[in-house]
Amino acid sequence: MRFYFHLFYAMLSCINKIYQSVETMRFNKNKYLKDMEQTDVERIRSEQISIAFRQAFASIFPLFLGALIISILYWDTSLSPYVNVWFVVINITLIWRLWLLIQHKKHPKKYSDLVWEYYFKVVMYISALLWGLSAFFLFQSDDITDQFAIIFIISGISSVASGTLASMFGLSVVFLSFLIAPLFMVMVLHGGLEYQMMGFLVAAYYILLVNASRRIHLNILSALKSKILHEKAAEALALSEEQFETIFKEAPAGIFYYNKDLIVIESNVEMMQILQITRDEMIGLDLKKLPDRSLYDAIFEPISGNKGYYEGSYVTMIHNLQLWITLRTSPIYNAKREIIGGVALVTDITERIQAEEKIKHQAYYDALTDIPNRILLKDRLAQSLAHYRRSKNIVAVMFLDLDHFKSINDSLGHHVGDALLIETAKRLKKICREGDTVSRLGGDEFVILLNELGNDPHIAATKVESVAEKIHEALGSAFDVGLSDTITTSSSIGIAMVTSEIQTADDLLKFADTAMYQAKKEGRNTTRFYQEKMDQWIKHRLFLENALRHAIKNNELELYYQPVIEIATKRIIGAEALLRWNHPELGIVMPDEMITIAEESGLIVPIGEWVLREACRQFVSWRAKNLSQTHIDRIAVNVSAIQFKQNNFVDNVIRIVAETGIMPSMLELELTESTVIDKLDTVIEKMNRLRAAGINLSMDDFGTGYSSLAYLKKLPFTTLKIDRSFVRDIMSDEDDAALVETILSMASIFKFDVIAEGVETIEQFKFLEDHGCQYFQGYLCSKPVQVKYFEELLTHDVQKCTTQSAKNSLQRTSALSI
C-alpha cells in the first residue's frame, strides 16, 4: 500500500506540471483567441468560469449516490474504517461544493473571477483526489461485482467531468488525471494479466476523455467567441445590406430564396445562368411542380426547420438541360424566429462530373477501342471463377493476337494500326454473346472471356472452338481502314479452360497466353488449347531465364537513353534510362519479354539495381565531362513493382546514390500505378523516405488507371508522365485532347511537373506548349539511343532536335522503348 501512495504522489507531481504548462499556453497560444481584444478575452474567461459553476450542480447527487454505493459494497472489508472515513470526507466535500456553487449563483460579483476560479479548483481537486483514492479499495473485495462497481463509478464520473469541466480545460485534465491515475496504477500493478490489460484500456480511456474534453473546450471557446463577434457585428450587419445585395448578385454560385409555399421569390444572376432562363421565368417558379423530383426532399427540408442537401443529376424544367449539381438548402427565419421559407445554394458540377466519369471510364476501358481493359477483365474473370466454384459452369479464356500486326503498324503507320484494332474489337463484339467479355490488354492483344459453357468439358470445348473458328473467319475478311486498298490479317488464338477450383484469373490468362504463343509458333492463323506439356515454349522460357541470369556478368545488358526536353527552352534537361539485352545468339531480346521473364524469375531485383547503379554512374560521368553548356539535371530510372516491394529497396537506392556520388535531387524514379496501389501505407512510407533523401518520384503512364486521382493527394510524387496513348491522338481525338488538358490543369493545381511521352509531331509539340506542359519525350527529338549517340545530342544545339534533320541523323541509332 505504501508503494501505491509513493507512486501516486510521483504521478500527481507530473500531472501538476502538465496542468501548469496547459495553463501557461491557455490564452497566449490559443488560436481561437489570438485575434480577440484583451477585454474580450477576459469576458470569455469569465464565461468559462460561469459555465463550470453551472455545470457542477448536476453532478452533486450522482456523486453522493456513487459514494453511498461504494461505502455499502465495501462495508465489511478489511478497509471498512477507511471506507467510512472516506465516505464522510466525500460528503463534506460535496456539501462544500454545493455551498460554493450556491454562493456563486447568488453573489457572482462578491469575488473576482480569479478568486472564484481558485475556490472552484481547490474543491474540484480535493474531490478528484478523494474519488481517485477509492481505486485503492478495488481489490479489497473478492467479489468482481464490487470491483466493477468502483470501475464503473470512476469511469462514469470521468466521462461526466470531461464534459462539465471542459470550459476550463486545464482543470479538466488535472481532475481526470487525479481521478484515473490511481485506478490505472492499481490495475496495472495488481499482477493479474486481465487487470493489467484493463489498466491499459483505462489509460486509453483517459486519453480519449482528455481529447474529448479538449474538443468540447475548443467548441465552447469558439461559441463564446462567436457570441461576442455576433454582438459586435449586429450593428455592422444592419449597415451592410447594400454590400450583401452586391455579393448575392455577383456570387459565383447560384442562390435563390423561396417561401413556405415553395415559390421562388428571389434569385441571383448565376442561378438563372445555370438554368439558362430569364428572371421572369425564375421569379414565381413553383418548386412543387418541378418534373424532376430529385430535388424535392432537399428543398422541402428547410420548411421543417432542417437543412437539405442533394448532389446528383438534374433535368431542368424549362429547357430539359441535363446537369450535375450540388444543392444546399437552409431555413430562413423572421425576427420572431419563425420559418418563412428557405434559401438554396446551387453549384453546377457538370464539367467536373463529366471529367471524373471520363477518367473513371478510362480506368476500366481501353482508350482506343472502348472495350474493357485488363483491370475490368480480371475483375469479371474473378467473378466468373467464383461462379464456377459454386455451379461448376465452365469458363474459358481466349487470348488473341493479330498476326504480323507490327509490320502493318510500322509500314502503314500508327493510324492504320489503330483503325485495324478498332475494327477488330467491333468484329469480336459482334461474335460474342452479351454475357461474354471482349477486352484489349494492349497492343494487338485481345482477351475474350466466355461464360456459361455448361458442365461438360467436351461440349464446352466444342463451343469455344466454334467461337474461335468464327473469329478466324471474321478477322480473315478484308479490313477497310481508310486506305485506297483494303488490308487483310489473321489471328493466333490460345484457349485456356478452367479445370480446377484453385485456378485464379492470373493462371487462366497465363495459360491462354502460353497457348497463344504456341499457336504462333505453329504457323499462326490457328487455335491451340492450353496443355500442361508445351515443351517447346517452356524450354524457350527456361533458356531465356538461364541466359538472363548470366547477362550482367557477361556484359550483355546495356542502357539506352532517351532525352527529356524542356518545352520552354527546347533543350535537353535530362534523360530516361532504358534497358536493352544484347544476347550473343538471339540478338536484341524484346524488352517486354525480357522484363516479364525477369519479374517472374525474381531476377528483376539484381537487374534493377544494376540499371540504377549504371544510370547514376553514367549521369555523374556526363556531368563531370561538362558535355553541354546547360548541364542536364535529371536522370530517370524505371522501377519494377516487384523491385519496389523489396523491404530493403529504399536502403539500396540511398546506398547506390551515395556510392555513385550523384546528387539525390538529380535522380528520378519512375513508378507505375500498379506499383503504388497495393498496401498503400507501406508504399507511402517508402516514398516519403525517398523524398526525404532528396530523390524525386514520377508516376509513369499517368491517366491509364482509375486510382491515380484517388491516391494523387496522398502520394508524394513530383512529376506526372502522360501516357503516350493519350498524346498520340490529341490532334485528332477531342476526348484525348480534353483529357490531356485536364491532366495539365490538375498538375498545375497540385504543382506537379509534367512530361508528355510519345511526342512525334510538331503539332503535338505545339499543343502541349500551348497548354502549359513543361517537358516531353518522343521521336520528335530522339528515340532511345546508346551512350555515344546521346552524348552527340548533348554536344550539339539541342534546340534543333525538333527538326526533321535531327530525327534523320538519329534514325540509325534508334531502338524500341520499353
pTM: 0.40
pLDDT at 8 over 50: no
Predicted confidence (pLDDT) per residue in 700-719, tens digit = 888 766 555 667 778 899 99
In this predicted structure, what is the pLDDT of residue 814? 36
Residue 593: band (very low, low, confident or very high) from pLDDT cuts 50, 70, 90: confident
Could you write out the DSSP letters of every residue in 363-379?
HHB-TTT-SB-HHHHHH
What's the confidence (pLDDT) of residue 680? 81
Higher-scoring residue by pLDDT: 554, 406 = 554
Residue with cell 507505375: 672
pLDDT at 28: 44
296-335 burial string, b = 16+ CB within 10 Å, else e?
eebbbbbbeeeebebeeebebbeeeeebbbebbbbbbeee
**Taking 90 as the threshold, does the pLDDT of residue 133 lie above it?**
no
Helix (H) or strand (E) holding 672, with range, is strand 667-672
**CA-based nearest residue to 397, from 514, 499, 509:** 509
pLDDT at 813: 35
Residue 322 amino acid letter: Q
85: number of CA atoms within 13 Å, CB side?
6
Q: Are 155 and 205 in contact (CB under 8 A)?
A: yes
Least confident span in 6-20, 129-143, 734-748? 6-20
d(CA 175, CA 125): 6
Tens-place pLDDT, residues 641-656: 889 989 999 999 999 9
The whole-angstrom separation of Cα 740 and Cα 373 is 20
- CA nearest neighbour of 718 among 666, 784, 649, 660: 666
- Of 662, 397, 649, residue with least CA distance to 512: 397
Cα separation, 438 vs 641, whole angstroms: 27
Q: Are 635 and 675 in contact (CB under 8 A)?
A: no
Mean pLDDT, residues 553-580: 92
Q: Is the pLDDT of residue 451 over 70?
A: yes
Of 756, 729, 726, 750, the closest CA to residue 739 belongs to: 726
Other Cβ atoms closer than 10 A to 47? 18
What are the DSSP calls for 493-559, one per residue? EEEEE---TT--HHHHHHHHHHHHHHHHHTTSS-EEE--S--HHHHHHHHHHHHHHHTTTTTT-EEE
- Most confident segment among 196-210, 480-494, 781-795: 781-795
Give the separation between CA 432 and CA 471, rounded to whole angstroms: 9
- Outline where DSSP puts E strands in 557-626: 557-566, 571-583, 587-589
Kindly state the percentage of the chain with pLDDT values over 90.
37
Question: C-alpha 802: how far from its chain's center?
Answer: 38
pLDDT band at residue 785 under the 50/70/90 scheme? very high
Residue pair 518/537 in contact (Cβ under 8 Å)? The answer is: yes
In the chain, count of helices (H) and strands (E)?
31, 19
Give the residue from 292, 287, 291 showing the smallest Cα distance to 303: 287
φ/ψ of 399, rounded to 5, equals -105, 115
577, 635 in Cβ contact below 8 A? yes
Q: How far apart are CA 656 and CA 509, in angstroms?
A: 37
Q: For position 668, what pLDDT does the model report? A: 96
**CB count in 10 Å sphere of residue 236:** 8
Give 319-351 as a DSSP string: T--EEEEEEEEEEEE-TTS-EEEEEEEEEE-HH
**Predicted local distance difference test score (pLDDT) of residue 538:** 63
pLDDT in tens, 362-379: 889 998 999 999 999 999
pLDDT value at 630 more than 70? no
* Buried/exposed 25-42: b ≥16 CB within 10 Å, e otherwise: ebbeebebbeebeeebbe
Name which of 691, 607, 610, 615 is nearest 654 in CA terms. Answer: 691
Q: What is the CA radius of gyration of the chain?
A: 37
C-alpha to C-alpha distance for 767 and 738, rounded to whole angstroms: 11
Report yes or no: 655 and 649 within 8 Å, Cβ to Cβ. Answer: no
3-state secondary structure 266-292: EECHHHHHHHCCCHHHHCCCEHHHCCC
pLDDT of residue 398: 95
Residue 720, SS3? strand
Q: Of 4-13, 51-60, 152-161, which range is least confident? A: 4-13
Name the nearest CA neighbour of 274 among 322, 331, 343, 328.
Answer: 322
Residue 739 pLDDT greater than 70, yes or no: yes
Please say whether the beta carbons of 249 and 224 come within 8 A.
Answer: no
**Cα–Cα nearest to 409, from 421, 399, 400:** 421
Q: Smallest Cα–Cα separation from 616: which of 649, 660, 572, 586?
A: 660
Q: State residue 471's pLDDT score.
A: 93
List Cα–Cα distances, 571 to 506, 627, 636, 664, 798, in angstroms.
Answer: 44, 13, 16, 22, 5
Mean pLDDT across the chain: 84
| 3-state secondary structure at position 487 | strand
- Closest among 481, 336, 324, 345 to 418, alpha carbons compared: 481
Other beta carbons within 10 angstroms of residue 191's beta carbon come to 9
Indicate whether 139 pLDDT > 50: yes
Q: Mind listing the pLDDT tens digit for each residue in 219-258? A: 888 888 878 777 777 666 655 666 666 677 777 889 999 9
Nearest in space to 272 (alpha carbons), one of 316, 242, 322: 316
Indicate the residue type of 474: A
